[in-house]
């Protein structure tokens, strides 16, 4: 367990029940942090805030400077400032490169690159010296996954922005790092996550033999934001070693699913 007593943590993206941001928020609260929870949907935010005795800032759009300023001000008014800021937002668009529309590219860029920068700016304006920023990135910012270019490119760009922040704000003792999960069963990947054949196809590429969980990522975030961490400007690959290998090809995933269906049909006959 990290010692986060007395620290104030903002977790962006916590408006989805059971998502990675909520897992991170629960872990930080268990380690002693006071939570400010941000996202668009008021109801799940309010539920989590009540559970963790935190503050919910709903209808907070990552791409809105006004909303993010309101988030920072709410943290200051309730807790006096911010020590930890985690951006756990994302849009898992899977679409062939030539079929990805300009509208989808602009939406992805607004959320995963421009919005990320705006979030860091807003948090740095209210962050106390010695604070910590964490970007939830992806193993696919380093290795390939087919039909995922817009997502991968913007995650990689946000990782480099994190390095810039680490360089510029280190004199204040502020650290900035990314955490890169691999395939993780969350609401964003729920459809694939319910198919054992897909999970197995990914897991065999992981040296540690399994895909990740939100709790794996929350554990890493808790360490990164603790005073015990002497790291900044880095991407922590919390993905079971998949970056040593590769993600499966689409054809391999389809073959695995079809083989599982055929085996199930044969078992019934």
Helix (H) or strand (E) segment spanning residue 83: strand 82-87
CB within 8 Å of 130: residues ≥ 6 apart: 83, 172, 173, 174, 227
Catalytic residue among 151, 169, 183, 206: 151
Q: For 184, list phi and psi in degrees, rounded to 5.
A: -135, 130
- Collapse the DSSP code of 59 into the 3-class scheme (helix H, G, I; strand E, B; otherwise coil) and give the result: coil
Q: Residue 146: name the closest of 253, 241, 30, 23 by CA.
A: 253
Q: Is 151 designated active site?
A: yes
Task: Show contacts of 109-114: CB within 8 Å, 24+ apart.
Answer: 109/150, 109/154, 110/63, 111/62, 111/63, 111/154, 112/151, 112/154, 112/155, 112/157, 112/158, 113/154, 113/157, 113/158, 113/161, 114/63
Work out the angle at residue 119's Cα, subtended by the Cα atoms of residues 117 and 125, and round it to the nearest 5 degrees.
Answer: 105
CA distance 225 to 175: 8
- Collapse the DSSP code of 207 into the 3-class scheme (helix H, G, I; strand E, B; otherwise coil) and give the result: coil
- Collapse the DSSP code of 128 into the 3-class scheme (helix H, G, I; strand E, B; otherwise coil) and give the result: strand
Q: For 175, list phi and psi in degrees, rounded to 5.
A: -105, 150
CA distance 253 to 64: 38
Categorise residue 116: left if φ over 0, alpha if ψ from -120 to 50, beta otherwise: alpha
- Positions annotated as catalytic residues are 151
């Amino acid at each position: 367990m990290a010692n986060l007593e007395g620290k104030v943590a903002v977790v962006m993206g916590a408006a989805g029940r059971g998502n990675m941001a909520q897992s991170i928020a629960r872990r930080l609260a268990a380690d002693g942090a006071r939570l400010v929870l941000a996202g668009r949907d008021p109801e799940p935010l309010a539920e989590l805030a009540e559970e963790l005795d935190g503050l919910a800032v709903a209808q907070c759009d990552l791409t809105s400077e006004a909303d993010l300023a309101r988030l920072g001000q709410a943290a200051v008014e309730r807790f006096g400032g911010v020590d930890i800021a985690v951006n756990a937002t994302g849009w898992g668009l899977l679409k062939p490169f030539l079929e990805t529309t300009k509208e989808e590219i602009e939406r992805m860029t607004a959320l995963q690159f421009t919005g990320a920068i705006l979030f860091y700016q807003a948090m740095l304006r209210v962050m106390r010296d010695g604070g910590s920023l964490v970007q939830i990135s992806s193993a696919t910012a380093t290795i390939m996954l087919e039909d995922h270019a817009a997502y991968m490119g913007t995650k990689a760009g946000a990782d480099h922005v994190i390095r810039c922040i680490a360089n510029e704000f280190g004199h204040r003792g502020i650290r900035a790092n990314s955490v890169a999960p691999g395939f993780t069963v969350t609401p964003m990947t729920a459809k694939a996550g319910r198919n054992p054949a897909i999970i197995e196809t990914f897991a065999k590429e992981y040296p540690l033999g399994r895909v990740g969980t939100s709790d794996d990522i929350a554990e890493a975030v808790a360490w990164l934001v603790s005073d015990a961490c002497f790291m900044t400007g880095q991407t922590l690959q919390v993905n079971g070693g998949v970056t040593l290998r590769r993600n499966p090809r689409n054809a391999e995933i389809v073959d695995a699913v079809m083989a599982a269906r055929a085996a199930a049909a044969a078992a019934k006959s």
